[in-house]
Structure 1
Amino acid sequence: MMSVNQQQTSKLLHNKFVVVLGDSIQRSVYKDLVLLLQKDKYLSLRQLKSKGEMSFEQDCLVEGGCLSQMTNGTEYREVRQFQSDHHLVRFYFVTRVFSRYMESIIEDFRHGLKPDVVIVNSCVWDISRYNSCWLEDYKENLRKFFDALSESLPEETLVIWNLTMPLGQKIKGGFLVPEIEHKAPQLRYDVVEANFFGGTLADAYEKDVLDLHFQFRFSLQHRMKDGVHWNAIAHRRITCLLLQHLAQAWGVILPSRPITVEEERHSTAVNYNDVEEFFRNSQSLPRFLSDNRPWQQSYLCFHYRHPHHLEPYREDHHHYVMRNRHTRHHYAPYTHHRSKARRDY
């Protein structure tokens, strides 16, 4: 695990179309990625809590949100998109891993622009809002989702299934309407069971699995007071894990950089729950985990391996990721001369 800055993120995702699917946690994953593509800053508390706003850091609300009815119901919709000359990132708010709405999203992939990366999670709403006996429905919907995704996306698309992060013993949130409050004490255990089936099935379909539940099991100090959401430090850590995994999957050496004593102090001393802005004008990034691997290269220097001859996958490089083992053919446009100056989205 390493710290990643704006310039590295922009280079790694150059000419890439990234789609994020999921609930409010995944929306914050999207927001942190959009922010890091533009500047070395953290999400503010207001940005983390906001939903359905017209614009966030130069993105736009495409559908739903404040353009429609703002509710906590299962029919709530929110589609966001950030677009620059060389980046396209899109977010879909979903409350069920497979539904008519999810089918329409996948149909867009089938007939429209194919994403290079799909980052997805759907769990807490699935197991709490639709059926008290959720297990069989959830497993069946997972199968339908992965079947539809596999049929609609090219092999080169990298699909990452995020396991749901640990819930608190006492929770509250938009999904927890009064009718299901009695489920709250059991929900954190249900998430563990749902994660097992989701992760196992995703791996069986040769999708990549990022185990955020395991990764954050000892980082509960970064969970917000509602017992569900997480602070800006946690979300930057998620972004770094995702980017590191993308780099390895694409055969790109993503170098680490020196960490200052000041950055280390800030990353461990700040209680984000007690402040509204975290590093409002800071340009620094904290270290989350150290990485002293021998293949590290100089800071801000990218080195590319041939995309068809990637090094064998090594388990010690990714303790938190289940990974399919087939060679992933990948086109890296930033390593070749291009006749056009930009990609037309």
Structure 2
Amino acid sequence: MKLLSSAYVRRLLHKKYVAVLGDSVNKDLVQILQNDDIWTGKQLKGKGDKSFANDTTDQQLVGFYFLTHVSSEYKENVLANFQHGPQPDVVIINSCIYDDSRYHEQSLQMYKNNLDHLFIRLTEVLSPKCLLICNTSMSVEFKAKGNFYSTTLADLHQLDVIDLHFHLRFKLHSRVNDATHSNQLAHRKYTCILMAHID
């Protein structure tokens, strides 16, 4: 894997607004916009941080919108903000593990319907110039059924897909103790994959 430099990421995202939708925080993107360091295990455990890694920059904007469910009033508020500006240049949709792990079998159809509606609304609200990327979940201990549904629907809606489950399938050691989240090295690998895709 090619080493990723902070200078390269700052150039690539110069004057860009990147919006991340989902239930998994990509702190590494914030970190690498500051410097080449890999964030620490202590930072990994941080929850509800008001600030992370001196996350202020004049040249890039990264917004994180925490969605625990594909369908929610908050999601509609986020889309309304996009519609009225500023418009994102890149939208990254993280697979909603919270949805995926908590829906019962009979509710999966509702999940698929809600995901389909989200993709429709995004294409209605965002500029055609906006790069829409749908991520699958990283390698998790339980069977992430939503990966198949999200990638199939994303393909139907002509969204880009980054299959993180595939890229990290042999990195089971990168899971942290909860068997759902991944460590900072896995996140750096994801950032490398993401930046190569955007480039």
TM-score range, shorter chain: over 0.9
- Please report how far the alpha carbon of residue 214 of structure 1 lies from its aligned counterpart in structure 2 after TM superposition: 0.9
SS at match of 2:61: strand
CA deviation profile, 1:142-194 (whole Å, cap 9, x unmatched): 111001100000111001100012212xxxxxxxxxxxxxxxxxxx22x1x32
Of 85, 105, 108, which residue of structure 2 is paired with 1:112? Answer: 85
Of 126, 134, 150, which residue of structure 2 is paired with 1:153? Answer: 126
Within a 5 Å distance, the mapping from 1:125-274 to structure 2 comes to 125-168=98-141, 188-189=142-143, 191=144, 193-247=145-199
Unmatched runs of 5 consecutive residues or more in structure 2:
none
Q: Normalized against structure 2, the TM-score is what?
A: 0.95
Equivalent-residue separation in structure 2 for 1:197 and 1:111 (angstroms): 30
Aligned to 1:21: 21
Equivalent-residue separation in structure 1 for 2:101 and 2:60 (angstroms): 35
Choose 155-164 or 124-133, whichever is displaced more. 124-133
Within a 5 Å distance, the mapping from 1:58-77 to structure 2 comes to 58-59=54-55
- Please report how far the alpha carbon of residue 122 of structure 1 lies from its aligned counterpart in structure 2 after TM superposition: 3.4
SS at match of 1:134: helix
Equivalent-residue separation in structure 2 for 1:16 and 1:144 (angstroms): 26
Q: Percent identity?
A: 45
Equivalent-residue separation in structure 2 for 1:125 and 1:222 (angstroms): 20
RMSD over aligned Cα atoms = 1.3
SS at match of 1:18: strand
CA deviation profile, 1:80-121 (whole Å, cap 9, x unmatched): xxx422111111111011211111111110012000011112
Unmatched runs of 5 consecutive residues or more in structure 1:
60-82, 169-187, 248-345
Mapped contact 1:97–1:122 kept (Cα < 8 A): no
Aligned to 2:7: 7
- Please report how far the alpha carbon of residue 130 of structure 1 lies from its aligned counterpart in structure 2 after TM superposition: 5.0
SS at match of 1:90: strand
Equivalent-residue separation in structure 2 for 1:131 and 1:112 (angstroms): 37
The one-letter amino acid of 1:120's match is I
Aligned to 1:96: 69
The one-letter amino acid of 1:167's match is V
- Structure with the higher helix share, 1 or 2: 2
Mapped contact 2:28–2:188 kept (Cα < 8 A): yes
Equivalent-residue separation in structure 2 for 1:34 and 1:48 (angstroms): 13
- Please report how far the alpha carbon of residue 131 of structure 1 lies from its aligned counterpart in structure 2 after TM superposition: 4.5
Q: Normalized against structure 1, the TM-score is what?
A: 0.56
